[in-house]
Structure 1
Amino acid sequence: MDLQAQTTASNAPVSRDDVERELDWLISIEPEPEELDTMDDYERLMLPHQRRIEPAGTLLRQYGQQIRPATVEALRDEFYSITESDKYAFDPKAESVARSALSSAWAGLNGWQE
């Protein structure tokens, strides 16, 4: 069982390192725009990864659920702490994927709107 599956299964606290590891993986599988002509192309390229994408989103959501205080302001602070970090902010693709993945995973948490 990989780290992500262990964390999800055990409900152990999710660390920032866990989040970055999942975001890095999601970024690595994101197709380059020049590979895509249609949304069907995107879906076809992402299909082999589908079994792991959903658990990655679950882990990101668990991280959001841990943030204290449980407010949209605290979520926003953490969101920007991650997406505007040197790791993601200087690569448009990385920043876009990180923003999209976190926003989607946190939808509905403490008033977070996707």
Structure 2
Amino acid sequence: MTPALSAAVAAIRAGGMVILVDDEDRENEGDLVMAADLVTPAAINFMVTHARGLVCLPLEAERIAQLGLKMMTEVNSSPRETAFTVSIEARDGVETGISAADRARTIQAAVAHAATPA
């Protein structure tokens, strides 16, 4: 593991964010990445204020199935074949779903070991 990668992993494990940059021949962008189980309202606020993109939660196919999530579209015509599910919101502890606190709560709920489908 390179020193830069080791530092990034350590930062993520400590609850920090790193910028993960993809190849120039792909999207040529950077994504703010952090451990989902350590996300906070302050982290979500930072993401939406400074990165200004879509806040996404990557989940493995097994977890998507466990939570009973549906794919956003059955036929994915995206050039990158980005596999989005329908939007989710925590069953408990949220109000409108849009605040940084509500988004952080939803992410924490989705990755909790005891999470079940709605």
- Fold similarity call, TM over 0.5: no
Which structure is higher in RCO with an 8 Å CA cutoff and minimum separation 6? 1
**TM-score, normalised relative to structure 1:** 0.32
Q: Give the number of the structure whose residues are more often strand, by fraction.
A: 2
Q: Give the number of the structure whose residues are more often helix, by fraction.
A: 1
**TM-score, normalised relative to structure 2:** 0.31
Larger Rg: 2
